[in-house]
Amino acid sequence: MESAPASRVRREDVARAVAALLRWLQHHPTPAPEPIYLLVTLKRAPVRRFEHTLRLPRSPFSSISLVSDRLPADLPDDIDPLPSSALGSLPPAARRGLVLVDRRIRVRPGGKGKAAAKAAQVVPVDLADPAWAESARDAARRVELRVEGGTCRAVRVGHAAMAREEAVENVVAAVEAAAACVPRKWRNVRALHVKAPESVALPLYSALGTGGDDDGNGEAEDAKRKGVAVKEQGVVKRRKKSSSVSVGGDQL
């Protein structure tokens, strides 16, 4: 059995970028914790609409709210209750978090559910299911990577109130999951960054060169990094030594 290829993003680079971003967020406080995103830039846009679910170790949402007019008696302490009338104007914390909506509430298009649609993620729940809370927490760890047009998309991976190590774990998991599911995998990944809504984008990874036509395998990529000869279609070519862009300490 072949071993899995080594990650192209170093954990220490992720840790530096996340630490710098969290420091910036601490100096720019907001009423509700700002989200943290992983920006995925591809070399080529997929021919068809692409969508994939990424599972993270921790929930990237700062809060979980339940919208219902008939709340369960055993409502968990980590889930905030909201009446159905709140769909017309969600509190700031709820807009930044995960919003659970009781399936018994009918949300009309363009109606009071419009505000909920602007939240980070809205999930319908069946409160008659005894395991609804566990299912909700599982949904809170899942985020969608959607590519409908263009080559750059953002995936929520954390928030400003997260512990640094928790945010690092989420970013590392999202990087590997995203690179594994996009068409052509790492060969199609041009760059990766972490970013808050108002911050600069901090680099984690940049592909070698500027072209998007590299269809070599992982071994060829490693060879190019080391500056050794690479055999392609029977022709041996000498590649110049290159390195990926990474985040450097406090120079951000």
Both 200 and 219 in one domain: the answer is no
Both 52 and 151 in one domain: the answer is yes
Among 79-93, 147-161, 227-241, which stretch is predicted with the lowest mean pLDDT? 227-241
Both 225 and 103 in one domain: the answer is no
Supply the pLDDT for residue 252: 39
Residue 149 placed within a domain: yes
Supply the pLDDT for residue 58: 95
Q: Is the pLDDT of residue 232 over 60?
A: no
Both 195 and 218 in one domain: the answer is no
Both 72 and 125 in one domain: the answer is yes
Residue 247 placed within a domain: no
Supply the pLDDT for residue 114: 54
Supply the pLDDT for residue 18: 97
Mean pLDDT of 126-146: 91
Q: Residue 89: which residues within 8 A CB-CB, separation 6 or more?
A: 115
Please tell me which residue, 217 or 209, carries the higher pLDDT value.
209
Please tell me which residue, 103 or 109, carries the higher pLDDT value.
103
- Last residue within a domain, chosen from 139, 155, 175: 139
In the chain, the amino acid numbered 9 is: V
- CA-derived radius of gyration, the chain: 21
Decide: 223 and 229 in contact? Cβ < 8 Å: yes
Q: What is the SS3 assignment for 87?
A: helix
Give CA–CA dist 54/170, Å, rounded.
10
For the chain, the domain total comes to: 3
Span 29-87, pLDDT tens digits? 998 899 999 999 999 888 888 788 999 999 999 999 999 999 888 899 889 999 988 88
Both 158 and 216 in one domain: the answer is no
Both 125 and 165 in one domain: the answer is no
Residue 19 placed within a domain: yes
Residue 153 placed within a domain: yes
Residue 5 placed within a domain: no
Residues spanned by the domain of 235: 211-241
Decide: 205 and 9 in contact? Cβ < 8 Å: yes
Span 166-205, pLDDT tens digits? 999 999 999 999 999 888 889 999 999 999 999 999 999 9
Q: What value, to the nearest 5°, has the Cα angle with vertex 149 and ends 146 and 151?
A: 80
Both 79 and 134 in one domain: the answer is yes
**Confidence band (pLDDT; 50, 70, 90) for 113?**
low
Both 178 and 73 in one domain: the answer is no
Supply the pLDDT for residue 50: 78
Both 130 and 24 in one domain: the answer is no
Residue 74 placed within a domain: yes
Both 20 and 124 in one domain: the answer is no
Both 48 and 173 in one domain: the answer is yes
